[in-house]
């Protein structure tokens, strides 16, 4: 009996070790600080992302910061640090997809309590921030350019399309792609990388068909090989309205119908392997029954069997 018990314990240890070996480690940890596309100022687009096991985060957009950070603090995700301490210690840089307030207001309002760090954005986006927000006519100038006195807390870093850059103190890289958000205005997609693993985050975007653009087509071509190689660990993309919204009233946003049109193109370019990449639908607008309708319409149109998920404020996402 003694030998049988010893054998059984050894077998359990072996099976547990085997399960740990076969379970892929997390590649990225993402904290949604805000996920919606309007109205509720406490829950607007902002996502902290880091390579799992490190503590250097970058923030993809910053519509909401404080409320989202408070949720993380209350759940003790950051060793007892409060919201202000998390913002100061852990967010190393901001990446702003475009300068609409639902993607930027949290950064502006929380700027007095932050510490020096860079803001990365397209030149067209930085111009709006410099000339309309961090200006003494509307707020203190915490930027590195513009109205004097220049407080120089946030160092503006202009991004170039298609260029991969390394982000200090994070171990992450970011490659920038231009999106069309009510042509000719620009939004941005950010491809975040770490050791041949990637996450793709899209700011607001219209469909190529509606925008009379090829920006999404170019983006899909750029990431298709990473999907084939199993390197794209997640895709975050907006759907703002349900299918009842006419194209002329979308103002550079997607519906379930348009989302599935674009994902069908991406799936074709990636040899039918998009089903292996989780797709997080973001930026749902607060129109009447929009969220329920959007989820229903996406589910009905998802004939490709894609993994469609919906991020929740304050709930961490661990990507394998």
Write down the pLDDT at residue 287.
81
Residues with Cβ within 8 Å of 125's Cβ and at least 6 positions away in sequence, in order, are: 96, 97, 98, 99, 186, 188
140 within some domain: no
Domain count for the chain, please give it.
1
- Residue 135, phi-psi category: left (phi > 0), alpha (psi -120 to 50), beta (remainder): beta
Q: CA torsion 117→69→35→52, rounded to 10°?
A: 70
- pLDDT confidence of residue 319: 97
Report the pLDDT value the prediction gives residue 288, as an integer from 0 to 100.
82
Q: Does residue 168 sit within a domain?
A: yes
- Shortest CA distance to 59 belongs to which of 30, 36, 37, 98? 30
**pLDDT, tens digit (0-9, with 9 covering 90-100), for 177-186:** 999 999 999 9
Range of the domain at 88: 26-59+72-97+161-319
Residue 248 included in any domain: yes
Q: Report in angstroms the alpha-carbon separations of 301 from 124, 210, 255, 261, 269.
A: 35, 19, 11, 10, 19
Is pLDDT of 123 > 50? yes
Q: Mind listing the pLDDT tens digit for each residue in 215-256?
A: 999 999 999 999 999 999 999 999 999 999 999 999 999 999
In a domain, 44, yes or no: yes
Q: How far is CA 294 from CA 241, 261, 268, 274, 284, in A?
A: 7, 15, 23, 20, 8
Residue 173 covered by a domain? yes
Mean pLDDT, all residues of the chain: 93
pLDDT of residue 69: 98
Averaged over 113-118, what is the pLDDT?
98
Six token digits for residue 17 = 């070790």
* CB-based contact 106:34 (threshold 8 Å): yes
Whether 194 maps to a domain, the answer reads: yes
150 belongs to a structural domain = no
| DSSP-derived secondary structure for the chain | -HHHHHHHHHHHHHHHHHHHHHSPPP-EEEEEEE-B-SS-TTSBSEEEEEETT---EEEE--S--HHHHHHHHHTTTTTT--HHHHHHHHEEEEE-S---GGGTHHHHHHGGG--SEEEEE-HHHHHHIIIIISSTTTS---SSSSSSS----EEEEE--BT-EEEETTTTEEEEEEEEESSTT-EEEEEEEEETTEEEEEE-S---HHHHT--HHHHHHHHHHHHHHTT-EEEEEEE--S-TTS-GGG-SS---HHHHHHHHHHHHHHTTT-GGGS-EEEE-B--STTHHHHHHHHHHHH-TT---EE---TT--EEE-
**30 in a domain, yes or no?**
yes
CATH number at residue 31: 3.60.15.10
What is the pTM (predicted TM-score) of this model?
A: 0.92
What confidence tier does 24 reach under pLDDT thresholds 50, 70, 90? Answer: low
pLDDT at residue number 76:
97
The CA radius of gyration of the chain, in Å to the nearest whole number, is 21
For residues 245 and 255, what is the distance between their CA atoms, to the nearest angstrom? 8
| Alpha carbon distance 172, 85 (integer Å) | 22
% of the chain at pLDDT higher than 90: 89
Rounded mean pLDDT, 97-114:
98
């Amino acid at each position: 009996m003694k030998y049988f018990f010893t054998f059984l314990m050894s077998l359990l240890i072996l099976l547990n070790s085997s399960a740990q070996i076969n379970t892929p480690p997390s590649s990225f940890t993402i904290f949604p600080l805000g996920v919606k596309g309007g109205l509720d100022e406490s829950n607007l687009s902002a996502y902290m992302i880091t390579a799992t096991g490190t503590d250097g985060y970058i923030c993809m957009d910053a519509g909401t910061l404080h409320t989202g950070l408070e949720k993380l603090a209350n759940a003790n995700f950051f060793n007892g640090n409060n919201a202000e301490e998390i913002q100061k210690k852990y967010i190393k840089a901001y990446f702003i997809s475009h300068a609409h307030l639902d993607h930027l207001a949290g950064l502006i309002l929380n700027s007095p309590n932050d510490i020096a760090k860079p803001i990365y954005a397209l030149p067209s986006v930085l111009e709006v921030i410099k000339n309309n927000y961090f200006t003494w006519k509307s707020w203190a100038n915490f930027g590195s350019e513009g109205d004097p006195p220049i407080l120089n807390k946030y160092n503006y870093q202009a991004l170039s399309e298609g260029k991969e850059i390394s982000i200090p103190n994070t171990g992450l890289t970011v490659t920038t792609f231009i999106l069309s958000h009510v042509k000719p205005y620009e939004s941005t997609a950010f491809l975040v990388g770490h050791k041949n693993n990637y996450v793709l985050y899209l700011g607001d975007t219209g469909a190529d068909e509606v925008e009379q653009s090829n920006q999404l087509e170019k983006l899909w071509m750029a990431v298709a090989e990473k999907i084939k190689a199993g390197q794209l660990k997640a895709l975050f993309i907006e759907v703002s309205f349900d299918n009842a919204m006419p194209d002329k009233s979308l103002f550079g946003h997607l519906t379930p119908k348009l989302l599935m049109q674009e994902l069908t193109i991406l799936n074709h370019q990636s040899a039918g392997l998009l089903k292996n990449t989780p797709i997080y639908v973001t930026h749902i607008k607060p129109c009447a029954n929009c969220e329920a309708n959007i989820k229903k319409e996406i589910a009905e149109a998802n004939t490709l069997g894609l993994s469609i998920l919906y991020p929740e404020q304050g709930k961490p996402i661990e990507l394998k």
